[in-house]
Amino acid sequence: MKRNLAKIAERGRAYILVLAAFAALCGCHTRASDSLTPVRMTGDAGAGDVAERQAQAGRAVAPEEYGPRGASYFPSFVLTNELGEQKAFFDLIAGKVVLVNFVYTTCGDSCPLETARLRKVADRLGARLGKDVHFVSISVDPENDTPATLAAYKERFRLPANWHFWVGKPGQAEEIQKKLGVYREAADQKKDHSLDMAVGNQATGQWLKRSHLENSEVMVNLLDRLNPRQPQRAQIVGYEQAPSRIGDVDGAERLYVSRCMDCHSIGRGDGIGPDLKDVTSRRPRAWLKRWIKEPDAMLKEHDPIAMGMYEKYMQVAMPNTKLEDADVELLIDFIDRESKSLAELGRPRIQR
């Protein structure tokens, strides 16, 4: 037993160091001389921005020297949040370290997963959210999303009060995406909207485009790096500095961590969704396989078990993560194996 616990603790430390190494490789080094590379933004800097920099420099200023983009670059659209408050978009980011993402409240797949992952980032930030770091979530469905639907969406995911959701007029979210460098052309700008997020410090002009699948630890590290007031973490320059190998992490565990763990646990209680401990003995395997593979179809069919969970867990629909049959089998076997390990170890094996 002691050897098992020591091995688990060692692997946990390795995970953390590998995540930190990944953050370093993503541009999160801690040397004072390092700088984060801004994402490519569309359009020229506003005339006011250029004139100001030319006056300061006493000469013509090249485009790459524009530096921080100001109010004359970003749209002046007035947005409304879930409380009915109205603010211009630039006022939401001016002088702040921000994470800007785009969702809509009736989304049945990617948006719930993205929101669940960002909630983990918010949990890690704690009291710093709304003070050192600000989340700005913007709806891409202004025809249907209202302050009331945005408020209900926040409640379903149990999100903190200082994380606000905003909606504007048709076309405005897309214009903001273009200015932030995260716009993607699509036939249906709602269902197929870009899932990338913009993370940056408006005051310094540092902006990065990040995936909605970003690990929460890496994202917090990145936000820390953008905040000059935040003490920086120790530098890790590569994966080779991790003290042990984690090659024994199998594909099933990687699937669980990437697709399930943001909403579920195995033996640590309910989260956004139910605790999965012993679910293989509580549900028929055939039902589990279909539920994991096509939850959207089962909800549309009003499957009684699926509908019961939908109502119990704040009407948060389980997303369809597009898994193949073989991956579904791996996940079910992994959950079964972890549930049995819990009885042996007396605590969850996965501690992240």
Fold held by 70-226: Glutaredoxin (3.40.30)
Mean pLDDT, all residues of the chain: 79
- Segments making up each domain of the chain, as ranges: 1-30+233-247, 70-226, 251-345
Domain 251-345 has CATH 1.10.760.10: yes
Span 7-59, pLDDT tens digits: 444 444 444 444 444 343 333 333 322 334 445 555 444 444 444 444 444 44
- Does 123 score more than 60 pLDDT? yes
Taking the chain, what is the end-to-end CA distance rounded to the nearest angstrom?
20
- Whether 251-345 and 70-226 are alike in CATH topology: the answer is no
DSSP annotation of 239 reads G
Contact assessment for residue 238 and residue 24, using Cβ atoms and an 8 Å cutoff: yes
pLDDT above 90 coverage of the chain, percent: 46
pLDDT of residue 65: 40
pLDDT-derived band at 136, boundaries 50, 70, 90: very high
Collapsing DSSP states into helix, strand and coil, what is residue 133?
Answer: strand
Structure tokens at 271: 């989260």
pTM: 0.67
pLDDT of residue 8: 42
Q: Where is pLDDT greater, at 70 or 10? A: 70
